[in-house]
Chains A and B, each alone.
Chain A
Amino acid sequence: GAGVSQSPRYKVAKRGQDVALRCDPISGHVSLFWYQQALGQGPEFLTYFQNEAQLDKSGLPSDRFFAERPEGSVSTLKIQRTQQEDSAVYLCASSLVRQGNQPQHFGDGTRLSIL
Chain B
Amino acid sequence: DQQVKQNSPSLSVQEGRISILNCDYTNSMFDYFLWYKKYPAEGPTFLISISSIKDKNEDGRFTVFLNKSAKHLSLHIVPSQPGDSAVYFCAASAYGQNFVFGPGTRLSVLP
Task: Please indicate whether A and B come from the same complex rather than being unrelated chains.
Answer: no
